[in-house]
Structure 1
Amino acid sequence: MSSTITKITLKSGAVRYRFVTDGPRKPGGKRCQIRKTFHTKKEAVDELARIRHQSATGSFITPSKVTVDELLDLWLRSAVRGVEKATASNYDSAIRPARLFLGQKRLQQLTEEDVEEFVDWMLTRGRQRGGKPGSSLSVRSVRLTLGRFRSALTLAVRRGWVARNVAEYVRVPREAVKRAARIEQKRRPWDEEEVKAFIEAIKDDRLFGVMLLTLIAERPAEVCGTRWVDVDLDSAGTIAVGNTRTIVYDRTRRRGERNTVVEKDPKTHNGRRVLPLPKPVQAALITFRACQAEEQLAAGEAYEASGYVVVDELGRPFKTDKLRREAHRLMTQAGVRKVRLYDARHACLPWMANNGVPDTVVSAWAGHSDLSFTKRVYVHPDPQSLRAGSDKLGELLSGT
């Protein structure tokens, strides 16, 4: 071993000890030579022994200048293979904060402290889009990004670029989790009275039937993707849920054109379903279809016969953001508490569950593939949801 170590005398007269040895071969079989110089011969001997031992056992990490950004490029190419465009866009967006905060850092210099600092940055000022730039990201978003980043670092470990995953044990601080839970508790879906107030206030609006579709537990993308051929307003009185129309953010496009519409099937088999229309919804949709016929006649050639149910006065289909804006306009007009469209859906599923509809039916109606998920998300420990239990206990305690 010592014979491969060369003694070098510098111009200043100082003595150094240098060796050149082979490390593990690079991907593709290319030879990898390692050169190191030390102040003492013992340091050189020890380091050479370590390299040879780790090379033999497969644990040696070849020095590399690969950056976090380059790793994320490689991970993203692998992660999006065979997935839908919307999923690929979500992956790209999820790792975007890591690119911004850590992208230029060399992968082999990354520490656990760096990742913790990254998490703190996301929780305080990591937002870039979808809100005020420089504000905090939600705990859910931070966890999602951290999970994707861990996955990328796992790939780096497999490739032999780093010895361990420095993000493996990093977690979102407990106080941030508690704070997020308190905020989530304040955000509650409409109760029965709020649903009734909203319906009464908008019954003469052009979009009355559309709003009722959101209230029978259809997701916004499902509402926007519904076509008239999917709706039977005559004999069966049903609506087939099988096409979604959603917005995907495409960073490769020019600014101002990055929000693109993607149509696709539901994520799961259970998402494709045929729902019997409640009579008020059926009547509202009949009125809406007649309204569209009049609008088409008035617009003439300017009308876009797209075939979708949810369209504007010229027949142009809604995007989910347009549907959301119209819903919030009507909530303001009705004087009810503004909620997300998902919370409007969330208002009616618990009502069904609390009024004798079997859990299996509620789950199938919602398009869930997991009954336990329906119970966990849509059965709430609040007074209104627990009223059914109180009524049954009243019967027992009264002796009836």
Structure 2
Amino acid sequence: MSVPIKKLPPNAKGQVRYRFVVDVGAHPSTGKRRQVTRTFGTLREAKGEYAHITHRRYEAAAVPFDGRTLDEWLDEWLARKAEDLEESTVYSYTVTLARLRGMLGHIRLQDLAEDDVEEWMKWALREGRVRGGKAGTGLGVASVEMSLARLKEALDRAVARRLVEVNVAREVKVPRNHRKAERRTKTVNPPWNLQEVRAFVDAVKNDRLYAAFLLSLMGLRPAEICGMRWADVDLDRATLTVHRTRTLMGNKVVVEKDTKSLAGERRLPLPDLVGAALADFKATQVIEKLAAGERYEDNEYVLVDRLGRALNGRQLRERAYRVMAESSLRRVRLYDARASCFTYLANKGVPDHLLARWAGHTDVRTTKRC
């Protein structure tokens, strides 16, 4: 049987291309005939894709009819996934998939086509933002790729369960030109240098959250600081144990859990400067507890407000950004400034081997090169 591949005349660049049009079966709901057109630079590629499509078409006939929509399948798939995922990860999956449900969710799972997914991707890159920025503007490449990754994962499972024959999202990718364009326009905000770290530390020396800011500068994540209890701080032995995180999910729900991995659990030595700041903070909380009386919430978290109520990462960041604005400092993530902070602490007399532990380096020389 001959393969209906047509050789096209050379284009403006003198390139010869090969094209075919092939039936991909009738539409399951309407019975309307469906065709796809593919063009390739070599005859070999065209033949390979033609064989792949026709093989898929014949196999698809063996898949039983299923009426569920993509929305319904995503709900079912996510419910199964949730049994083996952290609550915050399930939330992330939910938000990521929500980006494509509005345009694709109503489509019957077996009717979903590669063109549908391609069209969603183009729309998302062009005007798909509904939160986290100006509505109606394009989503970033990373956000679109994350949604595609989750969709591909869900459709892989649908293939495994014989609900659909192929994963129609498998070959959908953000165009390289779009990636390059985003990189060219993306503003890179470098972390603070030593002088900026020094200016920030001077600005917060009398701030109630001075100790928390120092821990952030040294590389603890906001969720790790928020999850820390005084039982994790040994001021006599000058050590700090990190083994819990406390995360704000969707700016509404607080989730407390163990660190993601064993590598995240660590005991760190406290430099004298940081230990003294924590000791002062603990003494301050004793005074605040006496002043508040019965209104005080004694929950043993390190990072609390004047009534003992645990603070979250958003509140910590907002306070830090407020100090930056008041001090005319560039707005950065404190975590990103840790290399300059280590230099600052080294100049304050903190031994290199203590800083190496915080940096996660086994060789002190590596830390000194930062």
| Residue-by-residue CA offset, 1:113-147 (whole Å, 9 max, x unaligned) | 21112112222332333344333322222111110
Match of 2:119 among 111, 117, 120: 117
- Residues 231 and 240 of structure 1 are in contact (CA less than 8 Å); yes or no, is this contact kept in structure 2? yes
Given the superposition, is the C-alpha separation of residues 218 and 80 from structure 1 closer, same or farther in structure 2, using an over 3 Å criterion? same
* Partner residue in 1 for 2:162: 160
* Partner residue in 1 for 2:315: 322
Shift of the alpha carbon at 1:37? 9.7
Q: Which has the larger radius of gyration?
A: 1
Shift of the alpha carbon at 1:58? 8.4
Given the superposition, is the C-alpha separation of residues 136 and 56 from structure 1 closer, same or farther in structure 2, using an over 3 Å criterion? closer
Given the superposition, is the C-alpha separation of residues 351 and 89 from structure 1 closer, same or farther in structure 2, using an over 3 Å criterion? farther
| Residue-by-residue CA offset, 1:206-226 (whole Å, 9 max, x unaligned) | 111110010111011001111
CA distance in 2, matches of 1:56, 1:119: 28
Over aligned residue pairs, what C-alpha RMSD do you find?
A: 3.5
Given the superposition, is the C-alpha separation of residues 95 and 311 from structure 1 closer, same or farther in structure 2, using an over 3 Å criterion? same
Shift of the alpha carbon at 1:351? 8.8
| Residue-by-residue CA offset, 1:171-198 (whole Å, 9 max, x unaligned) | 1122332244345561222222211111
| Residue-by-residue CA offset, 1:232-262 (whole Å, 9 max, x unaligned) | 222x11111111110123xxxxxxxx72111
The aligned runs of 1:321-360 (5 Å cut-off) are: 321-345=314-338, 348=341
Q: Which amino acid aligns with 1:146?
A: L
* Partner residue in 2 for 1:239: 240
The aligned runs of 1:218-229 (5 Å cut-off) are: 218-229=220-231
* Partner residue in 1 for 2:219: 217
- Residues 218 and 366 of structure 1 are in contact (CA less than 8 Å); yes or no, is this contact kept in structure 2? no
Q: Tell whether 2:260 aligns with 1:267.
A: yes
Shift of the alpha carbon at 1:345? 4.5
Q: Tell whether 2:310 aligns with 1:309.
A: no
Q: Tell whether 2:122 aligns with 1:129.
A: no
* Partner residue in 1 for 2:91: 89
* Partner residue in 2 for 1:279: 272
Tell me the SS of whatever aligns to 2:173.
coil
The aligned runs of 1:51-90 (5 Å cut-off) are: 60-90=62-92
Shift of the alpha carbon at 1:163? 2.5
Q: 5+ residue gaps in structure 2?
A: 1-27, 33-54
CA distance in 2, matches of 1:292, 1:301: 14
Q: Which amino acid aligns with 2:71?
A: D
Given the superposition, is the C-alpha separation of residues 146 and 230 from structure 1 closer, same or farther in structure 2, using an over 3 Å criterion? same
CA distance in 1, matches of 2:185, 2:269: 36
Q: Which amino acid aligns with 2:258?
A: D
Given the superposition, is the C-alpha separation of residues 65 and 352 from structure 1 closer, same or farther in structure 2, using an over 3 Å criterion? farther
CA distance in 2, matches of 1:224, 1:132: 30
| Residue-by-residue CA offset, 1:325-352 (whole Å, 9 max, x unaligned) | 1111111122210113443457547999
Given the superposition, is the C-alpha separation of residues 55 and 222 from structure 1 closer, same or farther in structure 2, using an over 3 Å criterion? closer
CA distance in 2, matches of 1:154, 1:37: 26
- Residues 228 and 309 of structure 1 are in contact (CA less than 8 Å); yes or no, is this contact kept in structure 2? yes
Q: Tell whether 2:293 aligns with 1:300.
A: yes
Tell me the SS of whatever aligns to 1:246.
strand
* Partner residue in 2 for 1:18: none
Q: Which amino acid aligns with 1:133?
A: A
- Residues 246 and 319 of structure 1 are in contact (CA less than 8 Å); yes or no, is this contact kept in structure 2? yes
Match of 2:100 among 98, 105, 122: 98
- Residues 272 and 367 of structure 1 are in contact (CA less than 8 Å); yes or no, is this contact kept in structure 2? no
Tell me the SS of whatever aligns to 1:73.
helix
| Residue-by-residue CA offset, 1:129-169 (whole Å, 9 max, x unaligned) | 33443333222221111100011111222222322211111
Q: 5+ residue gaps in structure 1?
A: 1-33, 39-52, 250-257, 372-378, 380-384, 390-400
Shift of the alpha carbon at 1:311? 0.9
Tell me the SS of whatever aligns to 2:231.
helix
| Residue-by-residue CA offset, 1:256-293 (whole Å, 9 max, x unaligned) | xx721111110010111111112211111122112212
- Residues 193 and 337 of structure 2 are in contact (CA less than 8 Å); yes or no, is this contact kept in structure 1? no
Q: Which amino acid aligns with 1:324?
A: R
Shift of the alpha carbon at 1:63? 3.4
Q: Which amino acid aligns with 1:243?
A: R
Tell me the SS of whatever aligns to 2:62.
coil
Q: Which amino acid aligns with 2:238?
A: G
CA distance in 1, matches of 2:291, 2:192: 38
Given the superposition, is the C-alpha separation of residues 137 and 292 from structure 1 closer, same or farther in structure 2, using an over 3 Å criterion? same
Q: Tell whether 2:232 aligns with 1:230.
A: yes
Given the superposition, is the C-alpha separation of residues 85 and 366 from structure 1 closer, same or farther in structure 2, using an over 3 Å criterion? farther
* Partner residue in 2 for 1:248: 249
Shift of the alpha carbon at 1:366? 5.4
TM-score, with structure 2 as normaliser: 0.75
Tell me the SS of whatever aligns to 2:201.
helix
The alignment covers a number of residue pairs equal to 314
